[in-house]
Amino acid sequence: MQSTVQTSSLMKHRVLHVQQRIEQITEAIRLRDFPKFGEITMRDSNEMHAVCLDTYPPIAYLNDTSHQIIRSVHEYNSEKGEVRAAYTFDAGPNAVLFCEEKDLFEIRDRIKSKFCGEGGRVSELVECKIGCGPMLRASS
């Protein structure tokens, strides 16, 4: 990360907007506005990976499968006419997908059919559900 701070001009821009993005995503969660939550999440993920690529020498966490999953999520959302699935990535090429429970089976089946099984590039899907839903905690 130190080389990113020292060499990426995009990082300077990213840092300027952190507080605004936190406020926007907090509001989306508070309002249970999944399309807004999903858009902010994906844009933030894309921006972070752009910053990594802008680092000199570049840091590339995503692989071909990562990019295919990104395209698949955007195709799904286009088919539905709104953001109903969102992605981000861990510190590597592993996608973390978000959706509402009503879309879980359809999205899971889509990912399984495109990326799992014989010849697939995804070796494991892990489903996690939230407890009582997202909650905002008051600042102390």
Q: Would you say 70 and 57 are in contact if contact means Cβ atoms under 8 Å apart? A: no
pLDDT digit string, tens, across residues 31-83: 999 999 999 999 999 999 999 999 999 999 999 999 999 999 999 999 999 99
What contacts 97, CB < 8 A, 6 or more positions away?
69, 73, 85, 86, 87, 107, 111
Average pLDDT (111-128) is: 81
Helical (H) or strand (E) element with 85: strand 85-89
Average pLDDT (91-99) is: 91
What contacts 58, CB < 8 A, 6 or more positions away?
52
Q: Would you say 82 and 35 are in contact if contact means Cβ atoms under 8 Å apart? A: yes
Q: Residue 8's pLDDT is what? A: 95
Q: Residue 102's pLDDT is what? A: 95
DSSP H helices, 8-101, are: 9-16, 18-30, 34-54, 64-80
